[in-house]
């Protein structure tokens, strides 16, 4: 049995901790904040409850497997509710909306309201994504890419399947209507990917929704976090300042309070862009590129907004320019494309009777961009609220707000230790994926491993939990090898 310290109680950290504890290791999770969850945090105020980050659950079997590996049954701990439609997409100035729905015939009818040709192309698009999902996510997302030859063996199949080309190009090959193209490519935004730049492998995010559906956990994603943390020794308000090493091996960590916690294995769920700081080393010459950030508003209203579905995506004008502004150009966009989470229509406990608990997510540049958030956050908030009212018909929204909280890129940096206030860790682009992403095991420090959105396979609830499986597997293999009896010659 090894002494394992996990730095950070994000979903990836908790997933790795559950798996390692399930293998019999002695696991302690050290978390700098007051509660576990990381980006999957929870806010409560005046009877309103908000998930601060992730809200849409896909690949529920990944959660089931993670719980089972830790000796728990997901469905005993958390009530999982299937959502249909998955979400609604609306566009500025258009009456039409598009509901993503599990029923394929219904989905074709939805698409047919935009283009009969696109409705007919839907099945072909899913068929093209099937092998990309199976090889690019199911297979590659569950194995470590530690050597260049792992990538060399994987890449040809991806090129053959068209998974290495930009997602936007793949989508355009199948669909003609601009709205339909937007609808089938926005998904990567929720793991920080620019739909015009991410490889088509991220198209699999669409496929897996039709395969395994979209889910909600009653009480919010935080109900999942709480259940995971219940089975573990999680010490909150224990920020790790330093990973200690002797020779080229970890020996433990030092917390901000000066406590030395010894460990044979350290799994870091902290931002991988900050690993050098924890090791007391200088910054690498070329650091990976971080994703965009978000401005999040958590609104508790005194009325229900019937126009909203559980998940609603509101796409503003100039979508392509919007994405370029908040990613490459590092400036505030002139239009707003926003995602709203309004869970009380599924789970009345999330808001007081007659009220709505709404989280609004606006992608914005990270702190490398040209925005002074300390000065400008209030103005951006007001402009977003006005836009939601005037462009998307949520009339009276501002006046209905009884309580409100906000999270800006500055909070991502100060509360989560996210480099440049990134919302989704390292940007998912081809040259920062698989072997080219932070490996799940450190290259030169023995006993040091990584888990979370910045590592392989990447961000998102299933992404970090699949990563936890890879990382726990590496630890198990390495510890086993160290213990294996030395063969006598």
Ligand X SMILES: Cc1cc2nc3c(=O)[nH]c(=O)nc-3n(C[C@H](O)[C@H](O)[C@H](O)COP(=O)(O)OP(=O)(O)OC[C@H]3O[C@@H](n4cnc5c(N)ncnc54)[C@H](O)[C@@H]3O)c2cc1C
Decide if residue 479 touches ligand X (CB under 6 A).
Answer: no
The least CB distance from residue 34 to ligand X, in Å, is 10
Decide if residue 87 touches ligand X (CB under 6 A).
Answer: no
Decide if residue 360 touches ligand X (CB under 6 A).
Answer: no
From 86-94, 135-143, 243-251, 452-460, give the range in contact with ligand X by CB under 6 A: 452-460
Cβ-count burial 414-443 (b if 16+ within 10 Å, e if not): ebbbbbbbbbbbbbbbbebbbbebbbbbbe
Distance CA 232, CA 254 (A): 20
The least CB distance from residue 237 to ligand X, in Å, is 9
Distance CA 343, CA 340 (A): 10
Residues 283-322, mask of contacts with ligand X (x by CB under 6 A): -----------x-x--------------------------
Decide if residue 5 touches ligand X (CB under 6 A).
Answer: no
Decide if residue 428 touches ligand X (CB under 6 A).
Answer: no
Among 5, 6, 12, 121, binds ligand X (CB under 6 A): 12
Q: Which of residues 23-82 bind ligand X (CB under 6 A)?
A: 30-33, 38-40, 53-56
Distance CA 407, CA 196 (A): 26
Contact call for residues 476 and 23 (beta carbons, < 8 A): yes
Distance CA 311, CA 436 (A): 33
Contact call for residues 326 and 364 (beta carbons, < 8 A): yes
Distance CA 86, CA 429 (A): 26
Decide if residue 397 touches ligand X (CB under 6 A).
Answer: no
Decide if residue 9 touches ligand X (CB under 6 A).
Answer: yes
Distance CA 11, CA 269 (A): 9
Extended strands (E) in 319-473: 338-341, 356-364, 401-407, 448-450
Q: Which is nearer to ligand X, 119 or 474 (CB)?
A: 474
Among 22, 300, 452, 457, binds ligand X (CB under 6 A): 452
Decide if residue 180 touches ligand X (CB under 6 A).
Answer: no
Among 4, 8, 210, 297, binds ligand X (CB under 6 A): 8
Among 136, 162, 417, 421, binds ligand X (CB under 6 A): 417
Beta bridge partner(s), residue 301: 356, 401
As given in the structure block, the two tokens for residue 55 are 């809200």
Catalog residues that contact ligand X under the rule CB under 6 A: 7-13, 30-33, 38-40, 53-56, 190-191, 239-240, 269-270, 294, 296, 361, 416-417, 423-425, 452-453, 459-461, 464
């Amino acid at each position: 049995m090894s002494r394992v310290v996990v730095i950070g109680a994000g979903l990836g950290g908790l997933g790795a901790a559950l798996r390692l504890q399930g293998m019999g290791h002695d696991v302690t999770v050290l978390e700098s904040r007051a509660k576990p969850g990381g980006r999957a945090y929870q806010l409560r105020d005046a009877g309103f409850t908000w998930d601060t980050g992730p809200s849409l659950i896909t690949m529920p079997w990944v959660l089931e497997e993670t719980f089972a590996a830790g000796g728990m049954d997901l469905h005993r701990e958390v009530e999982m509710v299937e959502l249909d439609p998955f979400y609604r997409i609306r566009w500025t100035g258009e009456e039409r909306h598009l509901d993503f729905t599990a029923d394929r015939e219904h989905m074709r009818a939805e698409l047919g309201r935009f283009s009969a040709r696109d409705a007919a192309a839907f099945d072909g698009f899913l068929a093209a994504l099937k092998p990309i999902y199976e090889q690019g996510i199911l297979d590659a997302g569950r194995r470590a890419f530690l050597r260049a030859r792992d990538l060399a063996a994987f890449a040809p199949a991806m090129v053959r399947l068209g998974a290495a080309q930009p997602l936007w190009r793949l989508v355009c090959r199948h669909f003609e209507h601009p709205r339909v193209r937007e609808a089938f490519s926005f998904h990567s935004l929720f793991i920080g990917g620019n739909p015009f730049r991410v490889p088509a492998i991220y198209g699999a995010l669409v496929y897996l929704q039709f395969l395994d559906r979209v889910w909600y956990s009653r009480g919010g994603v935080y109900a999942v976090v709480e259940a995971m943390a219940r089975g573990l020794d999680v010490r909150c308000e224990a920020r790790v300042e330093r990973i200690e090493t002797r020779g080229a091996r970890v020996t433990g960590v030092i917390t901000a309070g000066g406590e030395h916690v010894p460990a044979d294995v350290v799994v870091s769920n902290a931002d991988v862009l900050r690993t050098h700081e924890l090791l007391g080393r200088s910054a690498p010459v070329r650091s990976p590129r971080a994703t965009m950030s978000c401005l999040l508003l958590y609104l508790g209203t005194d009325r229900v907004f019937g126009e909203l579905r559980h998940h609603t995506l509101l796409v503003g004008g100039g979508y392509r320019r919007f994405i370029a502004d908040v990613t490459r150009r590092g400036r505030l966009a002139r239009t707003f494309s926003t995602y709203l989470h309004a869970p009380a229509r599924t789970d009345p406990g999330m808001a007081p009777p007659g009220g709505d608990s709404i989280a609004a997510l606006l992608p914005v540049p990270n702190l490398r961009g040209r925005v002074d958030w300390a000065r400008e956050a209030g103005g951006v908030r007001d402009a977003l609220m006005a836009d939601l009212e005037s462009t998307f018909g949520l009339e009276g929204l501002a006046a209905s707000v009884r309580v409100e909280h906000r999270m800006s890129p500055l909070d991502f940096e100060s509360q989560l230790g996210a480099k440049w206030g990134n919302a989704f860790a390292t940007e998912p682009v081809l040259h920062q994926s698989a072997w080219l992403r932070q490996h799940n095991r450190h290259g030169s420090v023995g006993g040091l491993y990584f888990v979370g959105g910045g590592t392989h396979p990447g961000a998102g609830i299933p992404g970090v939990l699949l990563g936890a499986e890879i990382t726990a597997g590496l630890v198990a293999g390495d510890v086993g090898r160290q213990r294996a009896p030395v063969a006598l010659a």
